[in-house]
Chain A
C-alpha cells in the first residue's frame, strides 16, 4: 500500500520512515508540515488528525499511524518479503526488535528533545536531558560491544531490523545536540554499517559514507 507521510524535514522520527521506505524502495507522498517555526502540528486541523500533536503521521486509506515505530513495522511487514527487517520467523530476534524499538522512543525523549533545544531553541531542562542522553548512548554502546563479541553486526542479530533504523536516527543526530560520537567506538562502527546500506538516505546532520558517496547520489 502506498501512503502519505506528514513530514518535517528536520525531524528524526520522520526520517526513520523516509529511510526505511527508501531502503525498501517504497514510494510515497510527502506532505510537509510547518513544525518550525509555524507549530502547525499543534493547530486544530492537525490535532484532529493526530491528537498527540506529533510528527510523523502516516495515512493510507483508513489507516492513520502516529508512532514512527508502528510505521516501520507497517512498512516492513508489507514490503520486506525476506522478513529480516521485521523478523517474524525468529522469536528471539523479533523480541529483541520490539525491545529496541522501545529504547528508540526513549532516545526521542532524551537526544531528540536535547536536539530541539540546542538547535531550535525549544525551552527545556538541558542538563537533565544531557545526562539522560549520555546514559542512553552508553547503554547502546555497551550493547553494541556485546553484539560484536557475539559476532553480530546489528542490534538484534547479523541483519539490520526496524529497530536499527529506529535507534539510528537520534544516535546519528546526537552531534546536533552537542554530543559527539568520539567516545563511542561501537556506536561509530554501527552507524557506519547503516550508512553503507544499499539505498541509504541522508538528512541534514547525517551524511553518506565516503565509500558510497560517488556510487549513488542522494535521492530527493
Chain B
C-alpha cells in the first residue's frame, strides 16, 4: 500500500450528519477510494455505547464515532485521535450542520482555500470582502507543537457582511486552526456578540485524491436567524468557492516550494503545505521530491 494512503487511513472523516438517515435507511459513499455503506440502525438495538449507524467498508464493519453533529469513520488499524472543538460543548451556541457539498477537487485544496483570506473580495464580493479593501495585513502563523496543529492568529479583514447576523460592514478578526490534514476550523468576530467568537469548520471526506464531500459546520451566537437562513448563508459562500476549486490546476496540491508560487497573503497556505509535508500527509498532494 502506498505511504500517502496508509497515512490518511489513520485519520477520522465525516460520512453523514447525525439524523441524516431514517432508521433502516442506507446510503452508499466512498472514503479514500474504498466503497462504503452507511446504514442507520433501528432504535431499540442501540445501547449507550453502540453507535446508531453502521458503516461497512468493502463489506466489513469499521470504527464509528459521533462528534460535532456528524458521524466519523476511521478505516485504519492505528487510528489517531479525533481533534477536539471545545465550543462544541457550549450549550448557548447554535449548532448548524450545513449538509454535504461534493467538489471535484483534492481534499487538501478544499482545506487550503478555506484558509485563504485574500480571495474574499473577489469571490465573495459584497459579503466576506469588497474592493478596495483587498489588502491582507501581516499576521502570525505557526505550528503549535503541543497539539501539532497549524494555527494562524491576529488576522483582521474588513467584511461588508461577516455573518447572517451582521447589520453592516465590520472589521472582522480571525483565528484559523488546522487540526487534521482534512479539517479546518476558524474563529471569527461574532457580529451580535463582539467579545465572542463564532466558530465555522470545514470537515472534508476524501472520496479519492481528486474528489471530496465537504461538510461545513458552525457553532454560532445568533438568536435571530432561522436555521434555514444560517445554512443558506454558509452554502452561498461555499458554493461560490466550489466553482473556483473545481478549476484549480494542478488537480493535486503541490507541496514542494516552487511547484506553485505562493503570494504574500498565503502565509497560512505555506505553513499548511509544510506541515502536510513534514507529517507525510500526501494523500491528495502532488508527488513530493525529497
Contacts and interface: CB of A to CB of B under 8 A. Distances in A.
Does A associate with B in a complex?
Answer: yes
Interface of A: 8-10, 32-34, 36-38, 40, 118-121, 175-176, 178, 204-205, 214, 217-218, 220
10 contacts: A37-B99, A38-B231, A119-B239, A119-B242, A120-B100, A176-B242, A204-B236, A205-B240, A205-B243, A217-B125
Residue of A33, A120, A178 with most partner-chain B CB within 10 A: A120
Contacts of A175: 243, 246
Residue of B130, B228, B240 with most partner-chain A CB within 10 A: B228
A34 B101 contact: no
Given A119-B101, A119-B242, A205-B240, 5 more contacts: A36-B99, A120-B102, A204-B236, A204-B242, A205-B242
B97 interface: yes
A32 B96 CA distance: 15
A91 to B, nearest CB: 40
B141 to A, nearest CB: 29
Interface of B: 17, 20, 97-102, 104, 125-127, 130-131, 161, 213, 226-229, 231-232, 235-236, 239-240, 242-243, 246
B228 A40 contact: yes
Nearest to B125: A218
A204 B229 CA distance: 16
B18 to A, nearest CB: 11
Contacts of A34: 227-228, 231-232
A10 B238 CA distance: 11
Nearest to B127: A220
Nearest to B237: A204
Contact of B229 (A32, A121, A220): A32
A36 B104 CA distance: 19
B52 to A, nearest CB: 18
B20 A37 contact: yes
Contact of B240 (A8, A36, A37, A204): A204
